[in-house]
Amino acid sequence: MTIDGDAYRRIIGHFATGVTVVTTAHDGWLHGMTANALTSVSLDPLLLLICVDKSAHAHEQLDKAGSFAVNILAVEQEEISKTFAVSSEPEQGELRGVPYRLGPHGSPVLEGCLAYVECEVSDRFVGGDHTLFMGAVLGGELLREAAPLLFYQGRYQRIEA
């Protein structure tokens, strides 16, 4: 049976995902975007894949920066997710007023996130209207134990940790 984009979105919306903010830094310009289109690819070597719309500001920023961090959000960070879900241009020296620090490899790490992983872009693949950025994991840290923020059927969801 053939389906269209709307039907596909409804179907794939039944796959629960975690919510992250992917952040980059390049020459003092910072950017973040909410993302749930990511996956752990390999343990040897450590690889992670994110999918970015070609028309998003984050696409150009990732190409320039060549590295990124994936910030895994906690349940109480829904507003942060919504902040970065709206498209905006990179900012010099700040991230839409959201507190952060630079990780050991130079990407912004959001305060209060559960964990983060910093990656260097190792490859790019065309995937329709998106580019799949393969990230070689450079480092990361589990920052705290708490319930994660989830997305299911087009809405934020909560579970107890």
pLDDT tens-digit series, residues 118-160: 999 999 999 999 999 999 999 999 999 999 999 999 899 888 6
Question: Phi and psi (nearest 5°) for 137?
Answer: -70, 125
Decide: residue 160, CB within 10 A, 0-12 exposed, 13-18 middle, 19+ buried.
exposed
Amino acid at 111: E
pLDDT tens-digit series, residues 45-92: 999 999 999 999 889 999 999 999 999 999 999 999 999 999 888 999
Look at the pTM and tell me if it is higher than 0.85: yes
Number of Cβ within a 10 Å radius of residue 83: 17
- Which residues share a beta bridge with 21? 34, 71
Question: Which structural domains are found in the chain, ordered by start?
Answer: 17-74+91-153 (2.30.110.10)
Beta carbons of 133 and 50 less than 8 angstroms apart: yes
